[in-house]
Structure 1
Amino acid sequence: MGIDELAAAAAAMLKQAPKGWRQLGGGDLNVVLALDLADGRAVVVKTGPAPRAEAAMLLAIRSADVPAPRVLAVSDRCLVMERLESAGGLSVAGWWALGEALRRLHETPGIAYGWECDYAFGPVPIRNAPAPSWPEFWAERRLLSDPESLPARYARRLERLARDLPNRLPESPPPVLLHGDLWAGNVLAAEGQLSGLVDPACYCGHGEVDLAMLNLFGSPGAGFAAGYGALEPGAAERQPIYQLWPAIVHLRLFGGGYVGLLDRLLVAAGV
């Protein structure tokens, strides 16, 4: 679907005429538009692998009293949501608010590891079928979900790590709601304050997964730790194990420039 057609379709879903639109940056895997409507509303339109699934994820995040865009309309082709303010980064108070919001998210219980449906990062599937234990879920649904897609030498190291996960990860941490792709680009801020979380890939699992992702390409600012609270013993040792999944995804999506990241994390995980 072309950009003009997408804007017209989204406006029609809201029974409005489109006033103007522009493509937003950051859409490596999906088309994202800022759309202004004739009634004065400013919305965001996004394509994706499963717009209805993403709408359900945003609803789950908002139900946990965590800021995220309100879903205004959804179809099999696109998701229309409110446009949150976004300009600049978080202040100390904003980082504290993010920590507190993430704590609330991770206090939202699930009934099993995984999600009600599979999802995807573009062509990379996210397999969310339940597993009886957390180490088994992380091994089978994440680290070894598609080993044939990786260079053989790295697949073998991941297999060695997967066999040892029962000794490295908690057997049955409470399954809690995860954002699933929590990096700085998916945290919106305005005037230093938290506007909301976007682009979720939700499932239920160990809360440290989101923290590991947030620390992969940077680190949370001052105030975050106070807002989130104390971590469980051993979190630092588990962090590279959890960071391996986004490293695998980046390698598969964007190529060999991420081989070094994958290798460094495997070394940090002791394999």
Structure 2
Amino acid sequence: MNRLFFQPHQAGLSKVEAAERTLRNINPDVVFETHNYNITTVDNFTRFMDRISHGGLQEGAPVDLVLSCVDNFEARMAINTACNELGQIWMESGVSENAVSGHIQLIIPGETACFACAPPLVVAANIDEKTLKREGVCAASLPTTMGVVAGLLVQNVLKYLLNFGTVSRYLGYNAMQDFFPSMSMKANPQCDDRYCRLRQEEFQKREAERPKQDEVLDMEEQQVIHEDNEWGIELVSEVTEAELQAASGPVPDLPEGITVAYTIPEEKGHAASDGAVVEDSEQSLEELMAQMSRM
């Protein structure tokens, strides 16, 4: 927060106030609501849950999504507890202490693993993180790593809210190797959070009530899109992969996950009507016309 939003003239302001002023200058059309308090205390946790439940753009409506950009496990667990209790979808993010790796994670209560389902060792072992000795920790975080992780988080938010592309369930970032691991974790039936277990039961019940895939396919086949065909439009088979390869040029050797949009066919001579190849004589149009006039 300090490295991405804070400006020198904002010295003395809290992180919340500094971030709000910087972001308001960037986009004054956005409506901001700031709260500067510790969400891990009992009183503030209740206030925090109330804003999630009634802090939407429409009066009294819940928020669409919660983004977690906190820097400690205690605050993450507080957000996790609140979202599990409310059934609120949220995205968790973080950067490692050595500032060269980070991650983003979509958490859907009951469907995906919550933060307590697969917690870090410091949480699983009930260790007070304030007592940990952090030797070898980088003294100054890298704003570049934070910027990359923040960009990945915002991109995932846009895909989720605007419903395009594939929303990542978990996406990591290793700056040392430019490695982006991606995976999806199911909720843990033995999770310590009782609201997480309750949300899992609700999710399994909804899944059991959903129509099976075969029933959905049968319904789609029975639907008639157009009873008449005034313009005589017909649906023909698409070009097969073999036909496409035959009409394309050579495909370069690419790493897994990367494909070419199109290929350039190999240059060949012009084909005659009998299938023979006619070589290019490199004669100009005037020379060819002169030859025809002498015939």
Which structure has greater strand proportion? 1
Higher relative contact order (CA 8 A, sep 6+): 1
**TM beyond 0.5:** no
For Structure 1 versus Structure 2, the TM-score category normalised by the shorter chain is: under 0.3
Give the TM-score normalised by structure 1.
0.24
Which structure has greater helix proportion? 1
